[in-house]
Amino acid sequence: SRLAVRLDGFWDFALDSHDRGLDEGWWRTPLRDPTLMPVPGSFVELVPGGDGHVGPVWYQRDIVAPFDAPAHRWILRFDAATHQASAWWDDVPLGGHTGGYAPFQFEVSHLLRAGQTHRLAVRVDNRLTRHTIPPGHLTDDPVRQWFYHDFRNDAGLIRSVWLLRTPRDHIGDVRVRALLDENARDRGYLEYQVTIGGPHVEELDPRWVEINVLDHLGSTVASERGTKGRLIVAPVQPWSPESPYLYMVQVRYAPPGAPTPDIYEVTTGFRSIRVRDAQLLLNGTPIRLRGFGMHEDSAWHGRGHDDVRALHDLQLLRWTGANSFRTSHYPYAEETLDLADRLGLLVIDEVAAVGLNLSLNAGHVPVEDPRTFRTGGVDERTCAAHVAAVRELIARDGHHPCVIIWSLANEPDTREAAARPYFAEVVAAVREADPTRPIGFANVAQATPELDTVTDLFDVIMLNRYYGWYVSLGDLDSARRLLDDELRRWIATYRKPIIVTEFGADALPGCHDTDARPWSEEFQRDLIETYLDLLGGFPEVVGAHVWHFADFATPVGLHRAGANRKGVFTRDRRPKLAAWALRDRWTREQSPPDQEFPRAR
């Protein structure tokens, strides 16, 4: 009953350097002198001037409508467009979306003409302001745009575009939440909510909606009827890193008189995740996270999704012995989370709220007022965008068993008193949308336990710390003392689990030094091992994520040697010494040893 057609491939593309496209109606006619642009992908490395471009770009392609178009409902879906997008079908405006990493869609059923060729035009804008997530601001200087994060502002149609066919009587949305009963480990609960649309929605009978839970053999293990409810699955096979067992939730909608039923499927797994005292419990058992902060980044593709790169990265992650990663600093492609579900990897899923800190100046940004949470800075409009972004994130990713923590920001300036009401509103929205997962944010070094104003609102303490690099450069003895002292202060102040979500040092590939000086591969290895040796002695520290998995592209600047070089792999995924050291350590820590990738069920 359903059909999904990828609109990926080569599109016509043009930079709109002077922002004339709207006034001149670029959607009405074919683009003048276009270049070819692959979708999905970032345009930054593929067109002259792409790296320095600030403002809109335009994409166009032709679509031939199927001859059976009038008999169905048709949806145009974008998996992501960074950061603002507007679309036209021929001369008809479809609408727009703000936020660079969430899917959005438009119904185009009334616009398709059987057998005719239609033009799809999309305007994508990479400009960031103080009221976007992530924030930035525009200037009149040659740079034109400043932003507050240390990675390149890749943009464009970075994920797939689809033309979707459904029956006219259709399933509009399915939300599922799979929970494991910790008091009876062989029992699971599936909470579900189904939204229905179409000609018969006014006379909807809940009995027309059927929910079936299928095991990996395709056998039905539980079923129910209705648009909202709770199913018991017993006995249930829990999802875990050692056994990433997945179930299929199949929703079937068949109103009387409909020519075909609509069937929609969602994959999920039953597991529990919660905080108790200073421990993080998966299925009732304490866990310890080993892994990395990552980026969706590779040469030429930029932030554009690539199935090969995504699978290769997670295979390399498993090769090191890691069991987890953070989606720093934005939600990753849905395909990546599907892989994590199947491979048994644990994920800290982060919204794109990076750079809520005008005093940090990670990118050496000139600011007129270093206060962040204020009118004209990060204010109520930013907060509304932040809340919208976390709601989109939870709606998209809530069914994934791999997602164990929502990360609501990276390095905000939580020393400011005004940060508390801001984050109280964001936290309340997340608790309402998903009360089952712990929440955290990546704390910046300046917001010590004595100065931070918001940590009590969260479940998990997540610390980004660079002793031995940005502080006490090259002095690992000092780094160890400083980190040990700060951890003890956090533990004395809060009885919460701690994850050190960033630590590391830049290493130029091939730079070696008998004295292990900074920038050498030896120093990077030694710093990481110093941290891990110390963190292993604190039972309250339940995770350590090295920054970074692989070298990644950053804005041009004197403080970056062509890229951020903190990766334990190069940008083309070749291991540095630190990668081998982590593999040696983490594979020994695995219980039971897991040299092979777990098979998906």
Residue numbers annotated as active site:
411, 502
As a dihedral over the C-alpha atoms of residue 126, residue 42, residue 327, residue 548, rounded to 10 degrees, the angle is: -110
Strand order in the sheet with 228-233: 170-180, 188-197, 228-233
DSSP bridge pairs for 63: 118
Backbone angles phi, psi at 329, to 5 degrees: -120, 55
Q: How far apart are CA 360 and CA 347, in angstroms?
A: 27
| Residues counted in the chain | 601
Give buried/exposed letters for 337-352 (b at 16+ CB in 10 A, else e). Answer: bbbbbbbbbbbbbbbb
Complete edge-to-edge strand list for the sheet that includes strand 209-214: 220-225, 209-214, 247-253, 262-268
Those residues with Cβ within 8 angstroms of residue 57's Cβ, 6 or more apart along the chain or in another chain: 13, 14, 15, 16, 43, 123, 124, 125, 126, 155, 156
CA distances from 553 to 153, 519, 563 (A): 9, 17, 5
| Edge-first strand listing for the sheet containing 35-39 | 35-39, 9-15, 56-64, 117-125, 84-89, 92-98
Q: Nearest to residue 160, comparing CAs of 43, 42, 75, 40?
A: 40
Taking a C-beta distance cutoff of 8 angstroms, is the pair 178, 268 a contact?
yes
* 230 three-state secondary structure: strand
CA atoms of 401 and 269, how far apart (whole Å): 5
